[in-house]
Homo-oligomer: A and B are copies of this chain.
Amino acid sequence: MSSLPASPSMVDGASLVARYRQVRARTTRLAAPLSAEDAQVQSMPEASPAKWHLAHTTWFFARFVLEDPAAVPDCWDVLFNSYYVGAGERHPRPRRGLLTRPSLEEVLGWREAVDARVVRGLETGAFDPARRQVLLLGTHHEQQHQELLLTDIKHALWCNPLAPSYRPDLAAVAHAPGAAAQALRWLSRDEAVVEIGAARWPDAGAGFAYDNETPRHRVLVPAHAIAHRPVTNAEFATFVAEGGYATPTLWLSDGWDHVQREGWRRPLYWHEDGAREFTLGGWRERDPHAPVCHLSHYEADAFARWAGARLPTEAEWEAWAAGVDVEGNFADDDASLHPVAPRDAPAADMPADLFGNAWEWTGSAYAPYPGFRPLPGVLGEYNGKFMSGQLVLRGGSCATPRDHVRASYRNFFPPHARWQFSGLRLARDPD
């Protein structure tokens, strides 16, 4: 997939067919290890069944690209609309796990039928540029659901006392000799006005970006320092051992309420035995050198305060990331589907591991950029209406497809969410 052409030309040529085929095939491949029962289950309201992900992503193309009512079987519109009020009634989100019908097999059959029509439409030039743009958007949309499919099924399997593996074949998470995490170094920058964000796609010359990344705009980034690498499991284990979860003054007030109400004592998926963590390959020894993940914003923030630091803002993060290649441990590599300790020594003057491994919580609320305009029509509900009560994460994770993320990419979750591969990198103000 790394050989895909860059986005600008993508809506025009054969590359769009190729991208569509590859993205669609990968989703099906991700679901392949799952039984029909696995694909049915919804372990919490925020998660969705794998079958639903398979169907909803198909619905997106049927509804917004084919735009043919006959492409959506009777009633399925209601079942597989996620939150597009403009697209009609929706089955309540917390009840997605109750849908035993259509079956996984029917949903997979529907995928094939829609794919055949979409590919034929592309190959015969039946779609005008606007529809091809929606189609490209649909492939990025589907990549988001690929990541959610993985994090949702991880949670569902973890809820089972049998602790089944999503893929028992996953290589043990091992760090190569000599790959111990480096001592943390601070990288400093002076105050500067920088440009962040992305040009408005699909304007001429703009590569694909979501509306929430636009417009590209100037922002004043204050003098600050950023850690050259993410916080590791070993560092977070020290926070746990030294009573971090029992010290209210380290926590935001809402965070402390959560700690007490939910009985949090360690990151999600850490075993109480102190040594293991639950992965998509089942219970494994925790690698102390790997980045910590499955933290809520509250935990990331408390750790930073304990460390005498803070979370970076998204502008700080992006200012650093602008100079870095989008490389890291992504889902495509399939080596682990879990964060790993870095293999190579990083450059001396640039932050390492910004992309992949684990999303990094920022201290920035998810809010519109100056001049933000949602996409027109129903797709305007895609991002804008969620700009409330959430925080921005940056950089992608081991569950993110490599070509889905970029320096300007803004992921967002509520501060208590911890079932994503979410970790942190420290920042601090000048002394």
Contacts and interface: CB of A to CB of B under 8 A. Distances in A.
Contacts of A224: 370
Contacts of A220: 193, 218-220
A241 interface: no
Contact of A100 (B40, B75, B86, B161): B40
A229 B75 CA distance: 40
B363 A159 contact: no
Interface stretch (A121-129, A198-206, A268-276, A382-390): A382-390
A39 B101 CA distance: 11
B164 A191 contact: no
A254 interface: yes
Interface string A226-269: 00000000000000000000001101111110000000000000
Contacts of A104: 37
Given A252-B385, A385-B253, A389-B254, A99 B370 contact: no
Interface stretch (A6-14, A90-98, A328-336): A90-98
Copies in the complex: 4
Interface string A172-208: 0000000000000000000101000000000000000
A422 to B, nearest CB: 16
A288 interface: no
A36 B39 CA distance: 11
Interface stretch (A61-69, A77-85, A135-143, A394-402): A77-85
A35 B385 contact: no
Nearest to A222: B370
Q: How large is the interface on A (under 10, 10 to 19, 20 to 34, 35 or more residues)?
A: 35 or more
Interface string A341-380: 0000000000000000000000111011011100000001
Contacts of A387: 252
Interface in A2-37: 35-37
Contacts of A218: 191, 220, 222
Contact of A367 (B91, B98, B363, B385): B363
A381 B249 contact: yes
Nearest to A86: B249
A167 interface: no
A415 interface: yes
Nearest to A224: B370
B41 A98 contact: yes
A83 B156 contact: no
Contacts of A338: none
A162 interface: yes
B370 A37 contact: no
10 contacts: A35-B103, A36-B37, A37-B101, A37-B104, A100-B157, A100-B164, A191-B218, A249-B380, A253-B386, A254-B388
Given A37-B51, A219-B220, 19 more contacts: A35-B36, A37-B37, A37-B40, A38-B100, A78-B161, A79-B161, A85-B248, A91-B161, A99-B160, A100-B156, A100-B160, A101-B164, A218-B222, A222-B370, A222-B371, A254-B388, A255-B388, A301-B388, A389-B389
Query: Lowest 6 CB-CB distances: which A-B pairs, in order?
Result: A365-B365, A220-B220, A222-B370, A37-B100, A252-B388, A38-B100
